Amino acid sequence: MSEGVEELPDDVEALKAMIIAERLRSARLQHLLDVLNRMHFGKRSEKIDSGQLALALEDRDVSMAEAELLVEQGEEATGIAPARRKRAADEPRASLPAHLPRHEIEIAPEAGCCASCGGALHRISDDRSERLDIIPAQYRVIVTVRPKMACRSCGDGVAQAKAPAHVVPGGLPSEALLADILVKKYADHLPLYRQAQMMARQGVTIDRATLAGWVGRAAGYLKPIVDRQKAELLKSDRLFVDETTAQVLAPGSGKTKTGYLWAMVRDDRASGGVDPPAIIYSYMPGRGGMWAEKLLGDYHGILQVDGYEAYGQFGKAGRPGGPSVLAYCWAHVRRGFFDAGGKGDGAPIATEALHRIALLYDIEREINGHMPEERLAVRQARSRPVVDELHGWLDAKRRRMFSGSPTLKAINYALTHWAGLVRFLDDGRIDIDNNPVERSMRPIALQRKNALFAGHELGAENWAAIASLVETCKLGAINPAAYLADVLARIVTRRDGEPIDDLLPGNWVDTKAAEMTFETSVIATAA
């Protein structure tokens, strides 16, 4: 409680109310502290993943806000003005985006004259504050009217405009509605049955199967764009590649089988690259070398991957176009030492290894976004001595450790993949780790948690295709809803074989946004 003794009320009942409110707040905060301690320091089986932890932290913040409200209400009941949290001097003031429309509400004094002398009041200044408001999403019906026109002179023939092409011809959804459904499912991870429930609350009754049919037709139109983007990625000098599981319902068995979503990522921003970042997901029934071969074909560039053996074939001589350069991931090395007990009291070697690897990451943060030549020069001067010393130190420690040690396992992993781990020292384009593609797997994991499994392999392929465009938009700071709505409206009018490069997320221009900006400027000028 922030009040001094002299500010406390004399009334006994008021004091009781304040004490009860404070005890309630303290009890709730202690409970939350106990829960968080168990999350961080409990047994491994009791720990939760980062997504669940985020939810717990949200609940903590909600409960703390509720407890503070109870304290404020107790203070107000006693006639004490509640103490408001003061903003720290270095705390940034929250601001709302300038592009949002402003709706002003003016609250003038109730009295039209001076309360002291009755004289007229005049305006000297304003206090202005902003709050974020929302206009709830509202469905509307677009009515397309195509008049039939006839000639009064000859009466021969009837003229009528052709019906516009749509993704669902003769169906209910506009392309903007389809885009909204796709974004909610593949960006916000809302299953279709939940979307059907949300629509029903506004009186729009559309069953889940109908929504699924719409999504399937949209996917059919979008897949050529995805195929084109994949072809462009395979021309890149460097790719990040990884894979993760995707459960698929096995036909006729009522059980699921394990498939895999493979991800290819192009993201050269860390080395000053100008090519737009992009992601391609591909569903494959398996994880072995043949599926990696199917994904990458005769690609020969820089492959940034983890140590999975399926990628080893791409570094071998005799491949069409020549071998790829395999660059391995230091984050996986770091993870191995962390899992071995690094940062704890019982694993000093693992802790020391983490400290040495951290030195490399400190250097990488300094040169992030610099041109390859600059990165190479810094790495040769500062990172190479650290790496060389680390190799000798790991080799010496390995000779003295017992078989079966988790730390020894981490050391062996690092030394076995050493040639690929040190590639970043000789090429400024190469990143120190595989994190760009690792981050691309997080949305897949969220979708997997919400949907549990795909209904069939075609559904998994559709998932991969649409997620490719959605996540590419997010990488390029593109609004995926605006992109999909525009692209779906445009691609239905394209003839077979007509170029679609302008529909790729990295090449897309939001013409509607430009039109909106023009309309807004005209209105402002007129005003």
How far is the C-alpha of 259 from the C-alpha of 222, rounded, in Å? 22
Over residues 188-203, the pLDDT tens digits come to: 888 888 999 999 998 8
What sign has the CA pseudo-torsion 84, 85, 89, 91? negative
pLDDT at residue 245, rounded to an integer: 82
451 in Cβ contact with 256 (< 8 Å): no
pLDDT at residue 280, rounded to an integer: 95
293 in Cβ contact with 230 (< 8 Å): no
Amino acid code (one letter) for 366: E
Helix (H) or strand (E) holding 282: strand 278-284
∠ Cα 10 11 15 (to 5°):
90
Q: The tokens of 403 are what?
A: 């078989």
pLDDT band at 447 (very low <50, low <70, confident <90, very high): confident
User: How large a percentage of the chain has pLDDT more than 70?
Assistant: 79
Over residues 237-257, the pLDDT tens digits come to: 999 999 888 877 777 666 778
What sign has the CA pseudo-torsion 367, 239, 300, 498? negative
In this model, does residue 29 exceed pLDDT 70?
Answer: no
Residue, of 176 and 97, whose pLDDT is higher: 176
- Per-residue pLDDT, averaged over 19-44, amounts to 60
- Per-residue pLDDT, averaged over 477-505, amounts to 92
How far is the C-alpha of 395 from the C-alpha of 175, rounded, in Å? 60
How far is the C-alpha of 422 from the C-alpha of 275, rounded, in Å? 25
How far is the C-alpha of 260 from the C-alpha of 281, rounded, in Å? 10
Give me the residues paired with residue 258 across strands.
247
- Per-residue pLDDT, averaged over 48-77, amounts to 57
How far is the C-alpha of 182 from the C-alpha of 499, rounded, in Å? 24
pLDDT band at 6 (very low <50, low <70, confident <90, very high): low
> Radius of gyration of the chain from Cα atoms?
31
Which residue in the block uniquely carries the two structure tokens 């609940």?
59
SS3 401: coil
Show me where the domains of the chain are located: 5-42+52-77, 175-230+463-520, 235-438
Q: Specify which of 56-60, 131-135, 172-176 reaches the highest per-range mean pLDDT.
A: 172-176
pLDDT band at 459 (very low <50, low <70, confident <90, very high): confident
How far is the C-alpha of 422 from the C-alpha of 329, rounded, in Å? 10
* Residue 363: Cβ-neighbour burial (10 angstroms; 0-12, 13-18, 19+): middle
How far is the C-alpha of 325 from the C-alpha of 421, rounded, in Å? 11
pLDDT at residue 48, rounded to an integer: 46
Q: The tokens of 405 are what?
A: 């040690």
How far is the C-alpha of 377 from the C-alpha of 427, rounded, in Å? 10
In this model, does residue 424 exceed pLDDT 70?
Answer: yes
In this model, does residue 53 exceed pLDDT 70?
Answer: no
- Per-residue pLDDT, averaged over 201-206, amounts to 89
How far is the C-alpha of 396 from the C-alpha of 102, rounded, in Å? 66
Residue, of 65 and 113, whose pLDDT is higher: 113
Helix (H) or strand (E) holding 256: strand 256-266
pLDDT band at 46 (very low <50, low <70, confident <90, very high): very low
pLDDT band at 523 (very low <50, low <70, confident <90, very high): very low
∠ Cα 273 274 278 (to 5°):
90
Q: pTM of the full predicted structure?
A: 0.76
In this model, does residue 304 exceed pLDDT 70?
Answer: yes
| Contacts of residue 167, Cβ cutoff 8 Å, sequence gap at least 6 | 173, 175, 178, 214, 217, 218, 221, 488, 492
| Contacts of residue 149, Cβ cutoff 8 Å, sequence gap at least 6 | 158, 159, 160
pLDDT at residue 276, rounded to an integer: 94
Amino acid code (one letter) for 181: I
298 in Cβ contact with 235 (< 8 Å): no
SS3 203: coil
Residue, of 263 and 131, whose pLDDT is higher: 263
Give alpha helix (H) positions in 112-248: 175-186, 192-200, 208-233
* Beta-carbon count within 10 A of 84 CB: 8
Q: Which range has the worst mean pLDDT, 79-93, 157-171, 197-211, 226-240? A: 79-93
466 in Cβ contact with 184 (< 8 Å): no
* Beta-carbon count within 10 A of 51 CB: 12
In this model, does residue 411 exceed pLDDT 90?
Answer: yes
How far is the C-alpha of 471 from the C-alpha of 467, rounded, in Å? 6
DSSP code of 298?
T
pLDDT at residue 169, rounded to an integer: 87
How far is the C-alpha of 223 from the C-alpha of 281, rounded, in Å? 12
Which residue in the block uniquely carries the two structure tokens 């790719």?
239
pLDDT at residue 519, rounded to an integer: 40
Give me the residues paired with residue 239 across strands.
303
How far is the C-alpha of 325 from the C-alpha of 268, rounded, in Å? 16
- Per-residue pLDDT, averaged over 467-475, amounts to 94
pLDDT band at 47 (very low <50, low <70, confident <90, very high): very low
pLDDT at residue 82, rounded to an integer: 55
- What is the chain's mean pLDDT, rounded? 82
Amino acid code (one letter) for 319: R
SS (H, E, C) 420-459: HHHHHHCCCCCCCCCHHHHHHHHHHHHHHHHHCCECCHHH
Residue, of 484 and 404, whose pLDDT is higher: 484
DSSP code of 382?
I
pLDDT band at 485 (very low <50, low <70, confident <90, very high): very high
pLDDT band at 339 (very low <50, low <70, confident <90, very high): confident
Amino acid code (one letter) for 94: A
Closest to 160 in 3D by CA, of 143, 169, 147, 142: 147
Q: The tokens of 182 are what?
A: 């796709």
Give me the residues paired with residue 243 across strands.
262
In this model, does residue 21 exceed pLDDT 90?
Answer: no
In this model, does residue 229 exceed pLDDT 80?
Answer: yes
How far is the C-alpha of 329 from the C-alpha of 306, rounded, in Å? 5
